[in-house]
């Protein structure tokens, strides 16, 4: 099959022929029809996540946002058959640990991420372990491109908004208007929140407005916490950091009102290496909550897909362009300069 591989950090991906995957008894082979190029893939390409214990063995096929069709199943698979249209969470779960059994599969004790541990979806075919548990059947209204669009960033934004506990009319600040941020903005708007989008790129802020942000702030032109406090007359009820940069994390916390909740979605870069100073006395005196949010558990997919199928959410609006395997290195280089807009989706695997 044709695939794109990381063979050396920060170097162009190698596009060529590799062996087709074969299924174990609990595995499913999926023909990939669409695969998203995610910033997490860029982190792996940069060698950015060693402090998290994530250091892919090279060469590896990246990619963990996908939509496709089942072509082969292991002999113990009961819930899927060839021809089924499917997607999968980026965090592949074991199906039997306490977290999986309690509906929190995103925290699986034995989690494996495509493109980080297993070969991923920048390829014509992908092997899904524990397919009965990890695969998600797609409704007729959700095509492969839409499935790839929700594969990591959108479903992560969705779960992050759920973790904010916002109610209709609440103020929510979203720091960063990249893929995760735009997803969170669209979801929060659909739930009735008043969203303030923060970024340093006016083009991204225009996209945020189209997705439902009622106010936008350019962090290079305004002091973010001060602007938020003025707009909301006392601070936001909740705030999301979708980037993982020290400046945006601190701004997110400083933008809250008493009793507010900060939700951290973005993973840091090598500059922070996972450690950021926060205003801890403010957290105490204002009874703020700092909450982490990882991916989206398998149990939340049905609700997400129902909202998409009914037209309440539209992840496809975030797809900026369709690309080929040969274009991925260019996208990674653009990500290094924060010059990507919306989602780039691989649909050409030739």
| HEC string for 194-250 | EEEEEECCHHHHHHHHHCCCCEEEECCCCCHHHHHHHHHCCCEEEEEECCCCHHHHH
- CATH assignment, 2-152+296-348: 3.90.180.10
- The DSSP 8-state label assigned to residue 53 in this structure reads T
β-sheet bridge partners, residue 128 = 28
- Range 75-98 average pLDDT: 96
* Per-residue pLDDT at 52 exceeds 80: no
Question: Residue 151: what pLDDT?
Answer: 87
Average pLDDT value for the chain: 94
Let me know if the fold of 2-152+296-348 is the same as that of 154-292. Answer: no
Nearest to 67 by CA among 342, 319, 326: 319
- CB atoms inside a 10 Å sphere around CB 1: 15
292 and 313 Cβ atoms separated by less than 8 Å? no
* Number of Cβ within a 10 Å radius of residue 270: 13
Among 123, 105, 106, CA closest to 115: 123
Q: Which tokens belong to 340?
A: 């990507």
pLDDT tens column, 218-238: 999 999 999 999 999 999 999
Q: Which two tokens stand for residue 295?
A: 């991916």
Residue 49 pLDDT more than 80?
Answer: no
Question: Is it true that domain 154-292 has CATH number 3.40.309.10?
Answer: no
pLDDT number for residue 331: 96
pLDDT tens-digit profile of 146-179? 999 998 889 999 999 999 999 999 999 999 999 8
Domain ranges of the chain: 2-152+296-348, 154-292
Beta bridge pairs of residue 289: 261
**Does residue 338 have a pLDDT over 90?**
no
pLDDT over 80 (residue 88): yes
Say whether pTM exceeds 0.75. Answer: yes
């Amino acid at each position: 099959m044709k695939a794109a591989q990381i063979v050396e950090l920060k170097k162009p991906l190698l596009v060529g022929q590799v062996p087709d995957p074969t299924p174990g008894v609990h595995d499913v082979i999926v023909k990939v029809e669409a695969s998203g190029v995610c910033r997490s893939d860029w982190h792996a390409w940069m060698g950015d996540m060693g402090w998290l214990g994530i250091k892919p063995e090279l060469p590896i096929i990246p990619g963990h946002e996908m939509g496709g069709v089942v072509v082969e199943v292991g002999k113990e698979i009961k819930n899927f058959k060839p021809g089924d249209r499917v997607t999968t969470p980026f965090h592949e779960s074991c199906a039997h640990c306490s977290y999986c059994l309690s509906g929190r599969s995103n925290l699986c004790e034995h989690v494996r991420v495509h493109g980080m541990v297993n070969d991923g979806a920048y390829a014509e075919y992908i092997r899904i372990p524990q397919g009965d548990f990890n695969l998600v059947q797609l409704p007729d209204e959700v095509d492969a491109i839409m499935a790839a669009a929700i594969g990591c960033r959108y479903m992560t934004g969705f779960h992050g908004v759920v973790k904010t506990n916002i109610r209709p009319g609440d103020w929510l600040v979203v720091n960063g208007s990249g893929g995760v941020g735009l997803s969170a903005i669209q979801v929060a708007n659909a739930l009735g929140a008043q969203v303030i989008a923060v970024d340093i790129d006016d083009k991204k802020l225009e996209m945020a407005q189209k997705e439902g942000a009622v106010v936008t702030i350019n962090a290079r032109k305004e002091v973010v916490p001060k602007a938020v406090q003025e707009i909301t007359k006392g601070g936001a009820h909740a705030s999301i950091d979708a980037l993982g940069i020290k400046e945006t994390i601190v701004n997110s916390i400083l933008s809250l009102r008493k009793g507010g909740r900060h939700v951290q979605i973005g993973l840091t870069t090598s500059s922070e290496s996972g450690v950021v100073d926060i205003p801890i006395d403010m957290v105490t005196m204002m009874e703020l909550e700092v909450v982490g949010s990882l991916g989206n558990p398998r149990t939340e997919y049905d609700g997400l897909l129902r909202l998409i199928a009914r037209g309440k959410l539209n992840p496809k609006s975030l797809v900026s362009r369709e690309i080929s395997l040969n274009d991925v290195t260019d996208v990674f280089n653009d990500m290094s300069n924060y010059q990507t807009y919306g989602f780039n989706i691989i649909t050409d695997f030739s």
